[in-house]
Structure 1
């Protein structure tokens, strides 16, 4: 039996000049995330955005390096550091060490790709000094098989990551890269200048007033006090729900109500949340992409900020009515999501002091379904049954109590519920997801009157 040779490791120095050094204030999205990374250094979800891309046959190491150099030249956020809070510094000259791992077989290359991905995100980025992109190339006998990137969330949010991925894929395959709005997309320094302009300051003042109103109307804490084991070692769980039937039901409800599918799912999550916590008025933090203007639609930076959607669920006469309330309040919340995070924090702390109870992000909702391919293909057979497939796995820290993510809503729904184990145990996570499933599947047949909706949210089984 012949032992498999160990992969051969080396470093490639990628050096190039992309333009002049530039420096200026952070844009609001950058400032928000920079503060969160400082406040929560253990949040691994927040710190890294990994990307693994296959290299087509015939590609060379130089081809891959050219692709990395091209996107770093095009998008300033990929070569920006943050020496002080509030300050961004774009490096015109880049020095990047690219890891190369050479293997002798396809199976070894696959394992090396997984290992390199984990290695590149094993330590947090030093955002003050380190470029926000780590890169590696896995080769089979010198021929590249995969490009492995780990990006700092300071450089990209989810939609910006998709733009970078699409651009890299085009470069690696030799295809043309076209994206509506790319030519008019602003760099982060330009966004910061716009936000500091008289028009930007006026827009920010209106947003701050909306945030103050939302903070005053939302309950500061909606989950019950942590379980008795709160002082025990922290534990976190994530439930994964996959279902074609939920996707079909959500499409039907969307067509009937005229609301987007994201709003439909949000309303179902909100109804279950209100029923399970006993809260009539809910405040759900929804992540807003903030890409409504020509300068931001295709911008590569971290733009996403919170939108606080406050809804009196007891006002809803039915599920369709609740969807309408969510659409109304969500539109306003998303409109005013872009806000100066320092001023926003000051408003929140002032209101916390007035009522003596700090505001907590009890439940966060994040719709990522605009790019359903981001999680890869659905495994054959998964989610095809009458009931959704649900599994719960150990997870890592996030600075919230619960976090719902919609990863896809095309032919298959893929929804996850992350939770602090001291707030929701694995059996609670399964029960909550089943309740969301019951609401959506039942509401596909008819609008649900409030009493029926409440019963399903509390654990009733759909007819």
Structure 2
């Protein structure tokens, strides 16, 4: 048990928008040690330890981090109660635990750290009292060799964790740190509530509402997509050749690494989905504002990008991606409660629930290259490694961990979208596309090069009765099945009449159109191939249900 006491006095203030967002999300999570189900929001990492550091220096470094950064001293009074916390408290003093884990003679330190992290993520944090890091100092022959870290997402996001790691490396190497450069969580909350902060928030909500009302609710809607579970398999890719190819692509196109990677990822996702528009959630997007770049805390609000891949070539798509990213990142700070209301209102009006089918998480700027380079070289190029399946609320996700010296990414894929073999095809296709982008332009479109170079399946809509409804693809048979289940009736006929998705429901349903529509929309989560009807023909009346 380590105690800490900061020079900064105890303080209270409103929660930040990012904290509020994560408190809401964590409230809906149910990690379980009994079921071996870890939190998908709280994260785990392994921190390396310089050879010159002993146990005492490591413990002193952790105490210094706690005293230095307000986010590590932050708790949320009332968390776990009936109402969401509205206040954060930054403590002046407290204590935290570091588990000392001795390795066996042949035990691998990284594997032991990963097991520690998985187990600790199965147990939720007490956000009203707990220190936001769970720490396992792993030793071999009484010498520290690794630190397993589990992070509470309510206080720290991925970028903040990377910034903490930079401080950790300086301290455990015997160095000294300059004063913290970023604002504290309470200072961020104050800025968000200023006049300029509120204007930014209103603009962000307008940006989201337009996309939710007009763009595809789901990217993947085809014959293979039917499961509502969220267990995704995970593939990690490490490749020095990929980093060199990315450098060439950046030099040839004059774009950023992020834009090149995102465009290639979007092109392949669109190819698999058999549609041109990809709505993509980009995590930690508000980190792109320079004033928040060094903030130790949780910003954790998505940017929503709409990438139109219907263009003649990859260079054009890279340019579009760069422009869309700027717009999306600018509109990534908002009040979560108001956004959730917009989501609900849009779902009710449109009859379709938005799902985060495609996700991008670029945290490549958080770890200095000199530290990343300390990792062992990949055993092959590319090196592909499988990890256990995890519950994640998406269909396809890419994490970008490192882009210089060695490209390090990981892919999470739902089996309905990509099975394990297809996920490897996707990874290799992404690397081939980056390599080509460094040499020349790549033709896209129906007669383009993606089919030949990717070896990926393309979404087919042949087994059901598929209909384009606005920007969504809908299986009329799946809609009818959903209505039978939700409304507890057998006699249902769904058709496309007079440019409307129409449901004729026979005897046995006592509901009005409004009651039926509300019930159906409430049961649409992760039903990517289904929309609520736009007109209901019921024994008790006819209408849209949206009156």
Q: Which category of TM-score, normalised to the shorter sequence, fits these structures?
A: 0.7 to 0.9
1:24 aligns with 2:4: no
Of 247, 250, 267, 2:246 maps to 250
| 1:102/1:140 contact within 8 Å kept | yes
Q: 1:205 deviation in Å? A: 1.1
Q: 1:185 deviation in Å? A: 1.6
SS in 1 for 2:390: coil
Q: 1:109 deviation in Å? A: 7.6
1:379 aligns with 2:377: yes
Q: 1:304 deviation in Å? A: 3.4
Q: Cα distance 1:112–1:225, how it changes in 2: closer, same or farther (>3 A)?
A: closer
Deviations 1:255-294 (A, max 9, x none): 1221111111111111111121112222111124423555
Larger Rg: 2
SS in 2 for 1:185: coil
| 1:290/1:338 contact within 8 Å kept | yes
Mapped to 1, the partners of 2:63 and 2:139 lie a distance apart of 19
| 1:103/1:138 contact within 8 Å kept | yes
Match of 1:52 in 2: 47
Q: 1:49 deviation in Å? A: 3.2
Q: 1:360 deviation in Å? A: 0.3
Q: 1:355 deviation in Å? A: 0.6
Of 56, 72, 75, 2:66 maps to 72
Q: 1:236 deviation in Å? A: 2.5
Match of 2:337 in 1: 342
Match of 2:534 in 1: none
Deviations 1:140-186 (A, max 9, x none): 666555444322122222221122112122222211334xxx64421
Moved more, 388-397 or 27-36: 388-397
More helix by share: 1
Deviations 1:169-207 (A, max 9, x none): 2222211334xxx64421101111111122211121122
Deviations 1:63-82 (A, max 9, x none): 33322221111111112122
SS in 2 for 1:201: helix
Q: Which runs of 5+ in 1 are unaligned?
A: 1-11
Mapped to 2, the partners of 1:164 and 1:130 lie a distance apart of 18
Deviations 1:36-62 (A, max 9, x none): 22223346342123343426446353x
1:327 aligns with 2:322: yes
Mapped to 2, the partners of 1:122 and 1:354 lie a distance apart of 38
Q: 1:452 deviation in Å? A: 7.8
Of 178, 203, 211, 1:214 maps to 211
| 1:282/1:313 contact within 8 Å kept | yes
| 2:247/2:257 contact within 8 Å kept | yes
Matches for 1:190-339 after TM superposition, within 5 Å: 190-224=187-221, 227=224, 230=227, 235-293=231-289, 295-314=291-310, 316-339=311-334
SS in 2 for 1:290: helix
Of 444, 449, 458, 1:450 maps to 444
Q: Cα distance 1:439–1:51, how it changes in 2: closer, same or farther (>3 A)?
A: closer
| Structure 2 length-normalised TM | 0.73
Mapped to 2, the partners of 1:395 and 1:222 lie a distance apart of 22
Mapped to 2, the partners of 1:183 and 1:13 lie a distance apart of 22
Q: 1:375 deviation in Å? A: 9.5
Match of 2:406 in 1: 412
Mapped to 1, the partners of 2:109 and 2:409 lie a distance apart of 31
| 1:366/1:405 contact within 8 Å kept | yes
Match of 2:75 in 1: 81
Match of 1:8 in 2: none
| 2:3/2:94 contact within 8 Å kept | yes
Mapped to 2, the partners of 1:319 and 1:279 lie a distance apart of 16
1:399 aligns with 2:393: yes
Mapped to 2, the partners of 1:303 and 1:260 lie a distance apart of 23
Mapped to 1, the partners of 2:53 and 2:308 lie a distance apart of 59
| Structure 1 length-normalised TM | 0.85
| 1:217/1:310 contact within 8 Å kept | no
Q: Cα distance 1:58–1:358, how it changes in 2: closer, same or farther (>3 A)?
A: closer
Mapped to 2, the partners of 1:117 and 1:173 lie a distance apart of 24
Q: Cα distance 1:235–1:335, how it changes in 2: closer, same or farther (>3 A)?
A: closer
Higher RCO, 1 vs 2 (CA within 8 Å, ≥6 residues apart): 1
Match of 1:437 in 2: 431
| 1:284/1:362 contact within 8 Å kept | yes
Mapped to 2, the partners of 1:235 and 1:227 lie a distance apart of 16
| 1:17/1:94 contact within 8 Å kept | no
SS in 2 for 1:396: strand
Moved more, 414-423 or 332-341: 414-423
| 1:50/1:150 contact within 8 Å kept | yes
